[in-house]
Amino acid sequence: MADPGVETKNLVSIILARRGRKKWHWTDIFSYTYLALGIFLMFGPVLWLGMSSFKTRAGLLEFPPTFFPLGQIELQVEGYEKPLLLFDVKMDDGSTRQLAQIRRIGIVSQMVDPKNPGEKFKIPIDQRTKVREFRMAWENYRDPLERFNFLLFLKNSVVVTVVATLVTLLINSMAAYGLSIYEFRGRNAIMLFVIGTLMIPITVIMVPVYLVVTNLGMVNSLWAVILPGAATPTGVFLLRQYMLTIPKELIEAARMDNASEWTIFSKVVLPLAMPAIAVLAIFSVMWRWNEFLWPLIVLNRTEVYTLQVGLNAFQGELDVQWHYILAMTVVTLIPVALVFAFLQKFITTGIASSGMK
């Protein structure tokens, strides 16, 4: 039989083994502690949101909260319209019975035996404990879809994201083509102009853009959200830098074959620029899906709210319905989580190479 002490020692040395037989340094311990804390701090809140979103309204009010969504069992008892809450009750004779609560008056609750509905008790509330079961409150997700405008908000957000991204990709790639393939007088001036607009954030021109949007009759329509941000300088810049790397010979050859400029753009340059276009598409989808301040300003009617504005309106209500808000927050988060799960590499290299988000 092997000595267990040797085994643990081996295990420890395997875990602590390092490439190149370097010694452990205080920074190693610091690093792993930091990373462990990092996981807890970065994932914890999202996990807690997910768990909480499956709790019933009553479950959310519990203090201290439980980690898993535990719901108190509710029973349909003969002679009572609404389902009653089930408790474990310590009886006076020391035995424990499961009773359902009819109503609570101060510190005494009136209870009934679910098996024998005729038998009623008056029990001090400190003698009862809730009977719970693991239960996912799917109704948190179902109800907002049916009862509120949530489905409408979702649709608005999808429309804004898709249309705005398509418009952005089309006009940005056209502009980038114009700025990268041709050499013409004024090209540098236009490039400077594009970089200049990069530096004018919406926060500085909110009021006059609102005036423009009102003048165009777009307030309270989704166009008011889609159009102002469509011509992103970031996108023009990103695509142009990429298109500059396309060999000039390709374009010359296409021109020799009498291809029109539009054909060269759509059949030669665009397919080659796909990696950059994909990065811009991902960015644009995320910008639009997450956009908040501008929609908040131009969308004042519930019918045109996007998810973000709708969520904010829900959480600002007097009677905050957290069980719905949490579920809707999870739904809002899902598309972004999917994009991240599949396209993480694209996004991180896109950011690292352009320094923009």
Question: Which 275-334 positions form the footprint of another protein (CB under 8 A)?
Answer: 278, 286, 289-290, 292-293, 296-297, 308, 311-312, 315-316, 322, 325-326, 329, 332-333
If one asks whether residue 49 binds another protein (CB under 8 A), the answer comes out as yes
Determine, following the binding rule CB under 8 A, whether residue 351 of this chain makes contact with another protein. Answer: yes
Q: How far apart are CA 281 and CA 80, in angstroms?
A: 57
228 touches another protein (CB under 8 A)? yes
Residues 52-111 that bind another protein (CB under 8 A): 52, 61, 63-65
CB 318 → another protein: shortest distance, Å?
A: 13
Taking a C-beta distance cutoff of 8 angstroms, is the pair 128, 150 a contact?
Answer: no
State which of residues 45, 83, 117, 124 lies at the interface with another protein (CB under 8 A).
Answer: 45
- Minimum Å gap between C-beta 316 and another protein is 7
How is residue 9 written in tokens? 């020692």
Q: Tell me the residue type at 162.
A: V
Q: How far apart are CA 212 and CA 205, in angstroms?
A: 11
Q: Does 46 bind another protein (CB under 8 A)?
A: yes
Rounded Cα distance between 276 and 235, Å, is 9
* Cα 249 from Cα 234, distance rounded (Å): 27
Smallest distance, Å, CB 62 to another protein?
Answer: 8
Q: How far is the CB of 135 from another protein (least distance, A)?
A: 20
Instruction: Tell me how far, at minimum, the Cβ of 52 lies from another protein, in Å.
Output: 6
Q: CA 327 to CA 139: how far, in whole Å? A: 9
Could you tell me the smallest distance in angstroms from the CB atom of residue 352 to another protein? Answer: 4
The one segment of 103-111, 120-128, 142-150, 258-266 that binds another protein by CB under 8 A: 258-266
What DSSP state is assigned to residue 268? I
Which range binds another protein by CB under 8 A, 42-50, 84-92, 94-102, 142-150? 42-50
Tokens matching residue 106: 């101060």
Amino acid 218 reads: M
Task: Report if residue 152 touches another protein, rule: CB under 8 A.
Answer: no
Residues in the chain: 357
d(CA 90, CA 100): 13
Residue whose tokens read 């296409």: 254
Nearer to another protein, 151 or 336 (CB): 336
Two tokens at 252? 């010359």
96: three-class secondary structure by DSSP: strand
Instruction: Spell out, one character per residue from 205 to 224, where the chain touches another protein: x when CB under 8 A holds, - when not.
Output: xxxxxxxx-xx---------
CB of 115 to another protein, least distance (A): 35
